[in-house]
Amino acid sequence: MPVFNRRDAASGQLHIYDTRTREVQEIASRDGYISIYCCGPTVYRDAHVGNLRTFLLADLISRTLTMTGVDVELIQNITDVGHMADDFEGEDKLLAESKRTKTDPFAIAREFESRFHKDLALLNVRKADRYPRASENMNSMIAAIEKLIESKNAYIGSDGSVYFDATSIESYGAISGNKLAALKPGYRHEHNDESGKRFHADWALWKLAGERTQMIWESPWGPGFPGWHIECSTMSIDFLDSKVDIHVGGIDLRFPHHENERAQSNSLTHSEVVATWVHGEHLLFEGRKMSKSAGNVVLLSDVQERGLDPLSLRFSFLENRYRSQMDLSWAALDAAHSTLRKWRALMSEWGISTEIKIDQEITDALTNDLDTPRAMQRLRTIEKDAAMGSQDKRAIFLYADQVLGLELNRVPESKPLTPELEQLLNDRVVAREAKEWNRSDSLRTELEARGLEISDGPTGQSWRWK
């Protein structure tokens, strides 16, 4: 992939929807610099395709900003401690897996962290500048909790654990719309046992270990482990100097995670740490929410096992707006795989030039709240434009691919025909010469079922691998 020349940076600035203000706003750089924090994986399992859609969102934002000539710093945390109750239903998933496999919990975390990075590479998601682990930033979290206690934003509960005082933040609910007065007891908690709280909407910053013997640390309040929310506050403040221009996450994190994170971060810095909150919407698979109980959790490895290019998943995501609920299906992935192969074949036919040509419609689509479906449609239009030269088509495809990240310049794999396929192709030529149209159509169907794409033109029959 050619490197983008900043002297040719596209005009216009990124505008994106801010969850807190409920409006699309311009992302103004700070002397040509933008900081991004993206909530990363909880590494007790593989990331499913819904998680990957969120991680892709941060990549698309970063690539679009780079396209417009902005320097981007991206931090993505690794959650290897402080798992929320929704994940472990009474027992931390890492500890449960450790008990089941008789394996050290941190060994499990490192394994799934490694697999997370491999999945991102297969999706052509560019690496973040840093991937700080919660377990390696414990001193910072403890210091932050001490500061919150000192400022009266947190307190030691009757059970010895430390809690954040939700009532200390007047603007609580700004992101989610969930006001404290409307929250009922038991709405959702980070941990099952939080009997030491003063108010039902408070949340744990530090939990005493109790009977837990693994993944615990010493603290001024006794051995224990941090709450889930405090890690993102601490690491975003530490690694991005208390100023996050864009904070990215899935819509499921809007409440309580991001609401609580905002309360902590603003209390620690006495300022609005995050300028813009960006959330990706839910992903369904074939009409249903993915869940382990439903047996429809799809991983990137499942896509590969079906013989599909991993980037067919990225392609499918791009055909849907990031803040619209998406219903993914195997049929959509098959179609994406086919189109991806076709576009790469066309790129090879269009030449070998690495020249990039700015296309204003693509620029406008991407900078207007990441309208990737419109950008993809523009490429489909260019593909079929008989009046446009092949070199111009190739140059525009390369320009768009800086953000789309589909590796459109990848040389298609040369796969030889089997003798059987060669015979079927010859049989179809004979059938067409004899004007046996039904047989010709039947042979086309069989050939396409075996992975070929058949075209008939003035010079006769042609084919390519899907």
Annotated binding site for Zn(2+): 39, 232, 257, 261
pLDDT at 5: 42
pLDDT at 444 over 80: yes
pLDDT at 19: 98
pLDDT by residue (tens digit) across 226-237? 998 999 999 999
For the segment 98-123, the average pLDDT, to the nearest whole number, is 91
**H or E element at residue 36:** strand 33-38
For residue 185, the tally of other CB atoms under 10 A from its CB is: 9
d(CA 215, CA 342): 50
pLDDT at 23 over 60: yes
d(CA 33, CA 11): 16
pLDDT at 460: 83
pLDDT at 191: 52
Higher pLDDT residue, 460 or 85? 460
Annotated binding site for ATP: 292
pLDDT at 307: 87
pLDDT at 454: 87
First to last CA, the chain: 22
Query: Do 200 and 186 form a contact (C-beta atoms < 8 A)?
Result: yes
For the segment 428-445, the average pLDDT, to the nearest whole number, is 93
pLDDT at 87 over 70: no
d(CA 81, CA 231): 9
Indicate the range of 299-303, 325-329, 444-448 predicted with least confidence: 444-448
In this prediction the pTM is 0.87
For residue 437, the tally of other CB atoms under 10 A from its CB is: 10
pLDDT at 352: 94
Average pLDDT, the chain: 91
pLDDT at 82: 58
> What Rg do the C-alpha atoms of the chain give, in angstroms?
26
pLDDT at 89 over 80: no
Q: Which domains does the chain have, with CATH numbers?
A: 6-280 (3.40.50.620), 284-404 (no CATH), 419-465 (no CATH)
Indicate the range of 43-47, 84-88, 362-366 predicted with least confidence: 84-88
Angle between helix 49-67 and 360-367 (nearest 10): 120
Annotated binding site: 39, 232, 257, 261, 292
Higher pLDDT residue, 294 or 265? 265
For the stretch 54-59, contacts whose Cβ atoms lie closer than 8 Å and that sit 24 or more positions apart, written own/partner, are: 54/248, 54/249, 54/250, 54/280, 55/120, 55/123, 55/125, 56/123, 56/125, 56/314, 56/317, 57/248, 57/278, 57/280, 57/322, 57/370, 58/125, 58/128, 58/248, 59/125, 59/126, 59/405
